Structure 1
Amino acid sequence: MASRLGRRLLAIGAVAGMTVVAGATAANAAPAPDGLTLIATRQSLLGTHNWYQQTYRGLPVVGGFYATHLDSRTGKTEIQDGRITIKGTPAAAASYARSRAESTVTGRLAGTLMRSSEAVIEPGTTARLGWRTLTRTGHGTVETITDAVSGTTLTERNTVKEVSGSGQVFSPNPVATLQNESLTDSSNANSTALAAAYKTVTLTQLTSGVTTLKGAYANNTSSSAVTSSTRTYTYNRSQAGFEQVMAYYHLTTAQEYIQSLGFTDVNNSAQTYRTTGYTADNSYYDPSADSLTFGTGGVDDAEDAEVIWHEYGHAIQDDQVPGFGSSAQSGAIGEAFGDYWAYTMSSAVSANTTVTPLACIADWDAVSYTSTTPHCLRRVDGTKVYPGDWENEVHADGEIWSRALFDIHNALGRTQANSIILEAQFSYAPGTTFAAAANTTVTTAQTLYGTAAATAVRTAFQARGII
């Protein structure tokens, strides 16, 4: 399976100049060879999606992209043109050395260099030649663009996508399985109260010839990674191996579910993860390293499958659309899809009750930081409407989008809803707006399942004020 490392779209800041040309033919949709580099090709149910990095003088333009979406049935191609106009004349040579930029940035951030910096073009009022440095820190990867002439910092951002909270196997978690909102973390202790929540499962897709939790769809990179010559990984929650097994199992079953819908190219490779070493009550997906990290503060995050599925949602979208989440609204869609993915995966293994409603996400993880019941990180059945309830915070604003997906799920059922949602995401722009993504999803529903499905999807988005 093709590796996804090294092909990340440089998506920083707002994307300008996007146009969608419906009905273009494959012949006239092909981009010119100059100024574009193919970085990803993805196959969906409806066609082929090619993603290109914009370049200038052979260097990547930060945030510039171009995409073609070929409909395999009609032969027509839709184009997303996110190329950015280069204003001014960037320097052709660097007077501020790469090594100096690297040492300055990593020293300031108290981190380690992930790989050698690359030269890029940072657009703006006046485009600049810059060094793009990736620094691994205790809080994920930080991406810094340093002016290659003056040495000043042009832009800097932490690239991780986070969920607030923390996490044998539990499926999905002991609160939902036991219908008991009074359970507590008790400093990670195992207890008889949790005994009935454990479930013995089959770990599928393990790689032949290895004794670690490495397989076709998940790869455990935790420190002191558990091993077994007999491939028997039985631990309780007080042991570090438990969370490693949890992540492997729930990531693998999520990918197997995606493939059961007919998708063979949605994050279809071994997802790297670690469940040790990060002591915060938080978890994140780092697109620069294509890796999931689960924190151990409070309830260990990877003890709650809904946290695992939320973070996997980020990895799914980043694989479908390189650099996804580069704007406030697309960032909110990312958090919303993570919550929704936790909801839809949980719906297959747990009951919807008044004690533990399915719409309540991460109800085991949340016992560490909530006092009311049911304990929830967030819910996907909220009443927020755009734009009145917009707060400009991706997790809060994501509740607008996740409610729409929740309504689509209830209207069409799990299979149709998830087929539509996953298919539509192939055609989202990295910095898409709510309205553009919603309209794409409506069109996808029409194409896959007809007018009734499209109407249900449109109604769900209209109820949230999105279209």
Structure 2
Amino acid sequence: MHALKPCLLAATIALAISAGSADAAKPQAQSKQSASLARNVVAPEAGIARRDGRYAADGAAIALYQPDFFVANRLSKSATDAQFKASAATAAYDYLVARRAELGLGERDVADLQQVHVRRQPGLTVVRYRQRIGGLPVFGSDIAVTVRDDGTILYVGNDSVRKLKPLAAGKAAMTADRAVGIARGYLGTQAQASNTERMALRDAQANTRDVWRVRANHWDVLVDASSGEVLRAQDMRQFARPVASGVGQVFKPDPLSSARATYGDAGYVDGNNADTPQLDSQLKKVVLRGIRFDATSGLYSLAGRYATCRNLEAPNDAACPSLPGKAFNFTRDNISFDAVNAYYNIDTYMRYVNVTLGVEAIPYQHPRGGVQFDPHAMSGQDNSYYSGGDLHFGQGGVDDAQDADVVIHELGHGLHDWLTDGHLSQVQGLSEGVGDYVAAGYSRDQPNQWTPADAPYFWVFNWDGHNPFWPGRVTNWNVGRVYPRDVASQEGHTAGQYWSSCNLVARDAIGGQRMDKAFFTGLSMTGSSTNQKDAAQAVIDAAAALGYTSAEVNAIGDAYNVSCTYGVTVPAA
């Protein structure tokens, strides 16, 4: 996770552009191999910002902040979630039929839309569609329409693929196995494909091609279903990074923050995972909820509803423990300490989002077993990444899984992916900012933390970074900077600091749980080309729709428009 070590967000995500991946935190240049294999990956259009949204060069809206469209419903406040979902789906489709021209869609385009997900929160519902042509889903297409409970269209994200031609005629399509073989040959890897899907692709010449989409490891490859040509290849990583209860010991959130110490103080150094009395003094006893007991072997393991420890890649060590008892009380010199630390923090934050906040966010890639994580991954490199529902933590410098900031940052990429149903955005470093925001918020909520009078209060990666290994990042990066001027010219991890900083100003103003709920709800309304201002408008719109007070909505507005310069429209509470 070095300053120049981006966190890898290798999410196997559904959209060409959204398919971002994200790393823990450390930026890092792509390998020469990755750069040479990447093919026909085009960045989202920047668009033209207007008061009511952002527009493409062809005049179609990319994001609409106040669509001014209302479909009356007769539901009472006591209606069921299923009734609200059905009503919202009707309203969303009525909107698309009536306003299709604003989105650059033709009548046939709307008729062929496929509703793929309906996400409900009290106060609003997000209805998500993708395009189809010739019976195939269109690669890169995503339209998300957010409907308030009263039938008002609140926000629209439009990543439609416009001016689609009919599918080009060709010879009979090859089998999925044949397409997998071509993709593997192109990548030069023996990795098994995790998923294949027939899709339609609008190519660079504006022709519509019948393709196989093959996901192999962290690569997303499109193979022409007739000719076998590899049309597109994208490395999805982006470098930065029966149930029982057990007990264990972890850092909360890291040994420097809980001790109010500085890296390099006596006893507060990595020392290649050596124990010191000072570091041992910062170990906190915790309950490990939901761990699994195997009656056949008689062993307990770190596997539950929200998190599961797994060996996913080299170094292929024995970091995931299985014990005859429920006590996982390791010190950091033990190979299994990192697994316990990661399990506790992932499980805790997933319960916070899904239970405390009431925002459903579960890996769609494997809904059973929650977040799969490898505490010792990347062949020991000093970086971490999210990919396809899984978290991978490196061991260079300070072991990444020993710092809750790294763990929660990578989990933040996953939450962004799951909330948008595979349409995560890295435009202007958005998902990197999401990761930094959730990591910093989680850290600030721990007991005996830094105060705003302390410089480390505004740091992310207090133990893993801000040391000889890499400089970490900050969450007051907005001070003295102007959006979009000072954001647009920066690489993703640097630019994302503006997004995290602005949202943390609002979090300090209205409280952690209130801001986090609005933040995640707003994020669920966005798509693969969403930029920071689009997302800010979605979050503040979500807060108003969720019934936040005028004081709370205005405080978010002050964070976005005074402490930062997004220039969002502040809705009435």
TM class by shorter chain equals: 0.7 to 0.9
Partner letter of residue 129 of structure 2?
A: Y
Deviations 1:366-407 (A, max 9, x none): 155457xxxx51011112322221224110111111111121
Q: Does 1:153 align with 2:230?
A: yes
TM alignment of 1:141-290, pairs within 5 A:
141-163=218-240, 168-181=249-262, 182=264, 183-207=268-292, 209=294, 211-222=300-311, 223=316, 224=318, 225-259=320-354, 261-267=356-362, 270-278=370-378, 279-286=380-387, 289-290=388-389
Distance 1:240 1:89 in 2: 56
Deviation at 1:8, TM superposition (A): 5.1
Partner letter of residue 296 of structure 1?
A: Q
Deviation at 1:356, TM superposition (A): 6.0
C-alpha RMSD over aligned residues? 2.8
Segment drifting more, 180-189 vs 294-303: 180-189
Segment drifting more, 59-68 vs 314-323: 59-68
Deviation at 1:318, TM superposition (A): 1.0
* 3-state DSSP of counterpart to 1:440: helix
The question of whether the paired residues in 2 share the 8 Å contact of 1:121 and 1:129 is answered with: yes
Deviation at 1:243, TM superposition (A): 1.0
Distance 1:211 1:93 in 2: 55
Aligned residues: 446
Distance 2:519 2:122 in 1: 12
Distance 1:369 1:428 in 2: 37
* 3-state DSSP of counterpart to 1:460: helix
Segment drifting more, 339-348 vs 355-364: 355-364
The question of whether the paired residues in 2 share the 8 Å contact of 1:163 and 1:311 is answered with: no
* 3-state DSSP of counterpart to 1:366: coil
TM-score, normalising length: structure 2: 0.71
Partner letter of residue 197 of structure 2?
A: E
* 3-state DSSP of counterpart to 1:452: helix
TM alignment of 1:48-197, pairs within 5 A:
48-72=125-149, 74-78=150-154, 79-93=156-170, 97=174, 98-111=176-189, 112-115=191-194, 117-124=196-203, 125-136=206-217, 141-163=218-240, 168-181=249-262, 182=264, 183-197=268-282
The question of whether the paired residues in 2 share the 8 Å contact of 1:184 and 1:368 is answered with: no
The question of whether the paired residues in 1 share the 8 Å contact of 2:223 and 2:232 is answered with: yes
Distance 2:460 2:91 in 1: 46
Q: Does 1:29 align with 2:92?
A: yes
The question of whether the paired residues in 2 share the 8 Å contact of 1:101 and 1:146 is answered with: yes
Distance 1:118 1:260 in 2: 33
For 1:418, the equivalent position in structure 2 comes to 516
Distance 1:146 1:248 in 2: 38
Deviation at 1:93, TM superposition (A): 4.4
For 2:528, the equivalent position in structure 1 comes to 430
The question of whether the paired residues in 2 share the 8 Å contact of 1:66 and 1:81 is answered with: yes
Cα distance change, pair 82–116 in 1 and its aligned pair in 2 (3 A): closer
* 3-state DSSP of counterpart to 1:258: helix
Segment drifting more, 217-226 vs 90-99: 90-99
Deviations 1:294-345 (A, max 9, x none): 111111100000101111111111111123334523xx12111110111111
Deviation at 1:121, TM superposition (A): 1.4
TM-score, normalising length: structure 1: 0.86
Distance 1:367 1:236 in 2: 23
Distance 1:116 1:179 in 2: 46
Distance 2:329 2:259 in 1: 20
The question of whether the paired residues in 1 share the 8 Å contact of 2:12 and 2:220 is answered with: no
Segment drifting more, 407-416 vs 256-265: 256-265
Residue number among 407, 413, 425 corresponding to 1:308 in the alignment: 407
Deviations 1:8-32 (A, max 9, x none): 5334353774464443424342379
**Superposition misfits of 4+ residues, deviation over 6 angstroms:** none
The question of whether the paired residues in 1 share the 8 Å contact of 2:92 and 2:147 is answered with: no
Distance 1:7 1:77 in 2: 30
Distance 2:272 2:466 in 1: 12
The question of whether the paired residues in 2 share the 8 Å contact of 1:322 and 1:430 is answered with: no
The question of whether the paired residues in 2 share the 8 Å contact of 1:7 and 1:40 is answered with: no
Partner letter of residue 232 of structure 1?
A: A
For 1:10, the equivalent position in structure 2 comes to 15
* 3-state DSSP of counterpart to 2:362: coil
Segment drifting more, 146-155 vs 417-426: 146-155
The question of whether the paired residues in 1 share the 8 Å contact of 2:425 and 2:531 is answered with: no
Segment drifting more, 308-317 vs 456-465: 456-465
Cα distance change, pair 342–400 in 1 and its aligned pair in 2 (3 A): same
Residue number among 453, 461, 467 corresponding to 2:560 in the alignment: 461
User: Structure 2: any 5+ residue segments left out of the alignment?
Assistant: 1-10, 18-41, 46-55, 72-86, 98-109, 242-248, 568-573
Larger RCO (CA within 8 A; separation ≥ 6): 2
Distance 1:114 1:393 in 2: 31
User: Structure 1: any 5+ residue segments left out of the alignment?
Assistant: 1-5
Identity of aligned residues (%): 25
Cα distance change, pair 356–107 in 1 and its aligned pair in 2 (3 A): farther
Deviation at 1:261, TM superposition (A): 4.0
